[in-house]
């Protein structure tokens, strides 16, 4: 499938204007755009502009309340519980992470949880906010229920990513991973480009391993109630399925259990006027509570260098530390622009039409006839 190249600035202008047209303020539109574009710039295609069509759907049906304001419903000097009131996940999460950062700077460590939010983009955006200020951070979210836990054929847990970041040279440690083998976004990308799934990524409605992306996605879209994505570690305990399942549970505890929000298996799916009920967690630690932050940064930088310089199993495959690929991708895209696949561009053209934006002005006079449009909505 062909791709179309855009500069970061062009995509930024499109996203900012689109979110303003959806009803967000200029500042809010810029915040949401920043989260989405970082994902694309970092090469995490599944969480960038590819997601726009689903955000549009959520806003259209009122699952995302454009005017919502996050409310602090419980607070101590080191913690807070925030009700997102069905607002855009990115806005609520930036608010929550800023609060966590402020608290950690005062008392050394903090834990802010959020309920009644929506999809927040990449978890690592928020850990980066803290890391950019010299702090360690962990962020997590639960999601719509997509993970079949070990030996279940019902998807009751989310893809539940856990992210952690800490300053280091020449790049920070920046880890962000779904606790499923892959995220739903990866399945969507496979489906868009017509690529079969790997074995042990997902199971069909009968609980059998399945490599057909559309079949698994249809389980979700049509709310079949069975079929889903496997935990990291796959389907058997021998290969660590219960470990991926356990890390997903950690995410569930940190987000939904602490915030009193909905666990993934109770998220609302495409209910008109109501948000998904997504929950998030933001933990910030000031390294100064353990001594000299510069010493810790040097210590970590040394470890990361040693890991990168290890003897390779296959000499032709480089060894990366977490966040390194993302920095390389960022630098490349800042210079050379981003390639979007034609289906994503077609979805953006549709959004222009919906919002009364001139698609040729924003996206150029593109040929999107090759696009393979996919409905993310339940069939009527």
Residues 105-134 that bind a second copy (CB under 8 A): 107-109, 111, 113
Could you give the angle at which helices 26-41 and 8-21 cross, rounded to 10 degrees? Answer: 140
Give the total of residues touching a second copy (CB under 8 A). 85
Judge contact between 91 and 272, C-beta under 8 A: no
Site for a second copy in 61-100 (CB under 8 A): 74, 76-79, 81
Site for a second copy in 142-181 (CB under 8 A): 148-154, 156-157, 162, 164, 166, 173, 175, 177-179, 181
Considering Cα of 91, then 93, then 95, then 101, what sign does the dihedral take?
Answer: negative
Cis peptide before 44 (omega within 30 of 0): no
User: Smallest distance from the beta carbon of 160 to a second copy, in angstroms?
Assistant: 12
User: Smallest distance from the beta carbon of 155 to a second copy, in angstroms?
Assistant: 9
User: Smallest distance from the beta carbon of 212 to a second copy, in angstroms?
Assistant: 17
Question: Judged by CB under 8 A, does residue 287 bind a second copy?
Answer: yes
Among 191, 235, 255, 344, binds a second copy (CB under 8 A): 235
Site for a second copy in 8-67 (CB under 8 A): none
Applying CB under 8 A, the span of 10-18, 56-64, 196-204, 342-350 interacting with a second copy comes to 196-204
User: Smallest distance from the beta carbon of 298 to a second copy, in angstroms?
Assistant: 10
Report CA-CA distances (Å) from 166 to 41, 131, 182, 257.
20, 5, 24, 26
Report the DSSP beta bridge partners of residue 6.
Answer: 338
Applying CB under 8 A, the span of 58-66, 91-99, 312-320, 372-380 interacting with a second copy comes to 312-320
Judge contact between 347 and 54, C-beta under 8 A: no
- Report the residue number, 31 or 140, with the smaller CB distance to a second copy: 140
Residue 48 gets which letter from DSSP?
A: T
Judge contact between 118 and 83, C-beta under 8 A: no
CB atoms within 10 A of CB 370: 12
Among 9, 67, 272, 317, binds a second copy (CB under 8 A): 317
User: Smallest distance from the beta carbon of 297 to a second copy, in angstroms?
Assistant: 9
Among 8, 253, 327, 355, binds a second copy (CB under 8 A): 253
Residue 33 — φ and ψ, nearest 5°?
-60, -40
Question: Judged by CB under 8 A, does residue 364 bind a second copy?
Answer: no
Question: Judged by CB under 8 A, does residue 291 bind a second copy?
Answer: yes
Assigned token pair, 224: 């079949």
Among 170, 313, 369, 380, binds a second copy (CB under 8 A): 313
d(CA 256, CA 300): 31
d(CA 254, CA 209): 30
User: Smallest distance from the beta carbon of 153 to a second copy, in angstroms?
Assistant: 4
Host H or E run for residue 244: helix 241-252
d(CA 167, CA 176): 15
Question: Judged by CB under 8 A, does residue 203 bind a second copy?
Answer: yes
């Amino acid at each position: 499938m062909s791709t179309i190249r855009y500069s970061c600035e062009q995509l930024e202008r499109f996203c900012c204007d689109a979110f303003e047209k959806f009803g967000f303020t200029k500042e809010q539109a810029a915040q949401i755009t920043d989260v989405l574009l970082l994902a694309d710039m970092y090469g995490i295609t599944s969480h960038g502009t590819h997601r726009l069509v689903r955000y549009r759907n959520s806003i259209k049906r009122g699952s995302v309340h454009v005017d919502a304001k996050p409310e602090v419903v419980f607070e101590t000097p080191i913690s807070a519980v925030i009700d997102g009131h069905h607002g855009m996940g990115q806005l609520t999460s930036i608010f929550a992470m800023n609060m966590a950062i402020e608290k950690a700077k005062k008392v050394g460590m903090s834990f802010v949880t959020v309920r009644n939010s929506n999809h927040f983009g990449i978890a690592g955006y928020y850990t980066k906010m803290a890391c950019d200020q010299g702090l360690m951070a962990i962020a997590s979210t639960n999601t719509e229920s997509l993970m079949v836990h070990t030996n279940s054929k019902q998807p009751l847990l989310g893809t539940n990513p856990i992210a952690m970041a800490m300053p280091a040279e020449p790049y920070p440690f920046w880890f962000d991973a779904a606790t499923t083998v892959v995220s739903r976004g990866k399945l969507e990308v496979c489906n868009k480009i017509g690529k079969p799934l790997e074995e042990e990524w997902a199971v069909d409605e009968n609980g059998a391993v399945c490599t057909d992306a559309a079949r698994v996605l249809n389980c979700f879209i049509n709310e079949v109630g069975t079929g889903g994505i496997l935990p990291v570690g796959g389907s058997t305990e021998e290969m660590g399925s219960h470990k991926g399942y356990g890390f997903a549970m950690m995410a569930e505890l940190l987000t939904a259990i602490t915030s009193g929000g909905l666990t993934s298996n109770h998220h609302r799916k495409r209910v008109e006027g109501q948000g998904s009920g997504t929950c998030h967690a933001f933990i910030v630690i000031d390294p100064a509570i353990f001594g000299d932050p510069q010493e810790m940064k040097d210590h970590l930088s040394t470890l990361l260098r040693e890991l990168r310089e290890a003897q390779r199993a296959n000499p032709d495959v480089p060894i990366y530390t977490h966040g390194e690929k993302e920095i390389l991708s960022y630098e490349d895209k800042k210079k050379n622009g981003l390639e979007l696949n034609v289906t994503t561009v077609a979805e953006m053209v549709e959004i222009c039409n919906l919002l009364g934006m001139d698609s040729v002005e924003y996206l150029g006079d593109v040929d999107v006839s090759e696009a393979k449009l996919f409905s993310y909505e339940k069939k009527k």
